[in-house]
Structure 1
Amino acid sequence: MTWWSELVESEPEFAERVRSRFAVRKHGTMATVRRDGSPRISGTEFGFSAGQVRLGCMAGSVKAQDLRRDPRVALHCPTEDASEQDPSGWPGDAKISGVAHEESPGEDGSHRFRVELTAVVLTRVGDPPDHLLIESWHPGRGLVRRLRR
């Protein structure tokens, strides 16, 4: 299993840039798998603490039911638009894919999960701003950078 702390240890600068994209606002987007196999997209809050990516769900929520049945999850940072005057100033877009592991419930019965990492991706405008820079990190493979024009 690979946790956030391992990414921080192996690629601290990349991990900090990803974490900062998730910190721009309180709510991001989470994708889970419904009972019928179709995707479910939900707004949610996530955090980074004690070397883990953590998320919570209200007691009995459909998001929690999805994760208990099929723990695959994808998280997307809050999105910020690029300035029309300076598209190169777009701060980028971060995504985390993984497997949710349920922890002890909260006192109110809420569900708490920590996310085992399977992929972390950061996309941003390159320098010069004529391409995208896509950085992806996978356990066992490390950090890879690609340009897309």
Structure 2
Amino acid sequence: MTSWGGFERAEPEFAALARRVLQRNVALVVATLRTDGSPRVSGIEIVFDGGELAFGSMPGARKGADLRRDPRFALHAAPADQSGGDMGEGDVKVAGRAVWTGPLSGPVTGDAFRADLTEVTWTGLNDARNRLVVRWWRPEDGVRSVERE
């Protein structure tokens, strides 16, 4: 696994695109695992703190309890305009493990986490806007890409 900072150092252009999509004020959804192994999805806000992808969970929230018990997660930033079929800059999915970093600091209480990445995936359109492009990065493989009609 790799930190967001490690991802940025390894693939600066791809990381910059992923970060833009994650920060464009579209609702983000995180998937965690319940005690029985079934998925749970929750809305989430993220920050980039010291170059790391970080997020929190309110006190007593199931999301935080899930992550403390089983740190695997998947984060999704949907396309900006889903109604008109315009993918805009596309969507981003981040998968990895949430590392508990302690209680949230500041006026909000809860748990703080940073992300160790296993995969970052971007899905969007090619420059001609006539083919779907899926680009993904894994620490062990670097960036790969496929195009589909």
Q: TM-score, normalised by structure 1?
A: 0.90
In structure 2, C-alpha distance between the alignment counterparts of 1:25 and 1:35, rounded to whole Å = 31
Secondary structure of 2:103 counterpart: coil
Larger proportion of strand? 2
Structure 1 residues 83 and 57: CA distance shift in structure 2, 3 A: closer
Partner of 2:81: 81
1:121 deviation in Å? 0.4
Partner of 1:133: 133
Contact 2:124 2:134 (C-alpha < 8 Å) held by counterparts = yes
In structure 2, C-alpha distance between the alignment counterparts of 1:82 and 1:62, rounded to whole Å = 28
Partner of 2:17: 17
1:82 deviation in Å? 5.5
Partner of 1:71: 71
Letter of the 2:138 partner, please give it.
H
Partner of 2:46: 46
Letter of the 1:46 partner, please give it.
I
Mark the runs of 5 or more structure 2 residues left unpaired by the alignment: none
1:148 deviation in Å? 1.3
Partner of 1:94: 92
Letter of the 1:67 partner, please give it.
L
Structure 1 residues 122 and 8: CA distance shift in structure 2, 3 A: same
1:120 deviation in Å? 0.1
Mark the runs of 5 or more structure 1 residues left unpaired by the alignment: none
1:32-72 per-position Cα deviation (integer Å, ceiling 9, x unaligned): 00111110010010112212110100011100000011100
